[in-house]
A and B are shown apart, each in its own frame.
Chain A
Amino acid sequence: MTDPTPSAAGSDRGFLARKGEGSTILAWITSTDHKRIGLLYLYAILSFFLVGVVLGLLLRLELLAPGRTIVDAQTYNALFTLHGVIMIFLFIIPGIPAAFGNLMLPLLLGARDVAFPRLNLFSWYLYMTGALLALTALFTGGGPPDTGWTFYVPFSARTTTNVSLAVTAVFILGFSSILTGLNFVTTTHRLRARGMGWGRLPLFVWSLYATAWVQILATPILAITLILILAERLLGTGLFDPARGGDPIMFQHLFWIYSHPAVYIMVLPGMGVVSEIIPVFSRKPVFGYWAIALSSIAIAGAGSLVWGHHMFTSGMSDMAILVFSFLTFVVAIPSAIKVFNWVATLYKGSIALDPPMLFALSFVLLFSIGGLSGLILGAAATDIHVHDTHFVVGHFHYVMFGGTGFAFFAALHYWLPKIYGRMYNKRVATIAWGFMFVGINILYFFMQVAGIRGMPRRYYDYLPEFAALNQIATVGSWILAFGLFLMFGNLLRGVLSGEPVGANPWGGATLEWTVPSPPPEENFSVEPVVTHGPYDFREAGVL
């Protein structure tokens, strides 16, 4: 697209080390550079992810044998609540958009920064405030929250644990998410480089754009729902209390009006990452550009209308169940369009099985398993059998960890060489991927089997007949954790002391590969002019 440009600062460490100011912590946490903010998010998000992983391992360890194994029942409740709150609100929702969106969006658009750089920094501060408040909730008040991440009433309105603080934390995190979303929509509309029409946006940008709309349009409903929990707890408003004329089902509606679309906030950016990686490592233009781009919008739209499928067993009219079931199945169509287009892109491609590609391909498989098991839950009849069992837990972990998590790892392996200018050990990365792929399938597949046989979710104890399945799943969690450990160790080693890479180690045709690695502070020394699509490898001169 443009000629490779030398670093503006004249330093080979680009934005990572500016002249003069250097890289003191103060310089980082007051920077409005989107790349620095992206890295701040990345470090924070990865730290919280590791906390969430440890909590998850403890949960699995408790389930290793029937009866009390390592913790008592109340601690178990607190553990799964924290695991949920941390993983959902601190890792998966902000993960790809806040970290990689901030790092890459302006680079992909050919812009110098996002539309509102100071607002961007403010969003990070909100995120950190919310995160620290959530952690404070563990150690103060009446003990860690024990409601599950869904904060269902009436329990959340009555429990004496520290729910109010946790809810406030999530409210602030939601505000951060809204501001990131409106920043990204404005950036995409206003700051595209000359020549970059909507038909030339990289697909990751399309997915971030769709995600940003969901963030803007769904998160306010979460905000008001959380305010209502606080009012219920502090003022006794009784809006969800049948004794005072309220209705707890209304809480579930409001909560899922946000939280189901939030599932697409989680997975759409992951799909965007995969849409970037598959063409590059197939050495082929993406198949069905517009189908993939518009299916992101379709998923965002249809996905906002399906919240009711979380409530098939809580007392809805049969008509409502039918409608929500139908709409849920509709979401499968744009999702399948993406999967088929990825597969078609691979067809007759010259496939390079580098680590980013391995993660991207396993995303497609794991997401498909998760998505298809979702249809079992989307159909009311089968949902009633497996509702609130480990089948559900296995399903959403396939989608969120196998899907979004693996896409996040794919993004780490794909873009970290660009950000740090150094390469990790590809062989170790492949081995780590192998452990994770085997581990995740053992863990969640056997969870689903246990669920179909009747193992309930959120239970601390279980009948002896579930012991074998739980033990296998727990062993899977150890294999997965070992793979994670290996992967992060390898990435860290690569970032610190890996081989330097050039501007374009993978042969990508999008704009970020035209600048040096790491990119200079101002991204582009000459304003780029886009003359071809993001996957025209021949015209970009990399094929």
Chain B
Amino acid sequence: MSARDAILAAVRGNKPSQAVPRPDVPFFDRLADDALVDEFRRRLEQMGGRWLDPGPAEEPLAPARARIAQAGIVCSNVARLPGTRTLAAGDAPALLHDVDLAVVRAAFGIAETGSVAFSERELVVNTIGYLAQHLLVMLDPADIVGNLHHAYARPEMHAGHYLVFQTGPSATADIEGVLIHGAQGVRSLTVMLVARTIA
């Protein structure tokens, strides 16, 4: 008998015989729509993420451009914020090892946890979200959902092959519980709220 059939047979023979109902999961809405941005920012900062205010109405992207100008090698997936190196799907993932700053638009944000979500569509090459030293994220305030239940109801869960919720920078506390940012992935993660129509 194949391992597959043997395991399934053993499971069938040993599983409980009584029927168990499958519970439905409610959405647990607690936050009003106008409270989402404040909660998102509070949690983002609690988790070690940084907040960048957009510029004035005539030049909202100015702070992002300033960050890009200061960095060395910049990969950007945001058309109106060009970097110094272009990225194409199919590029070897390890090639991005020397990137200083990556600029990416988030698919959506989660207020409850201060997380930003990326699929392979936003990242183009997934490793851009980990190998770059720093990450600058554009997020449309209209794309912030209240909690994880709403995040899992999003279409991204059922499309594409990869979806990640990133919450602040990479972190570790494995040595005496001392918190260190930049364990393996990015050393910093900064979020700027900018509508999709702007960039």
Partners in one complex: no
Residues of A near any B CB (own CB < 8 A): none
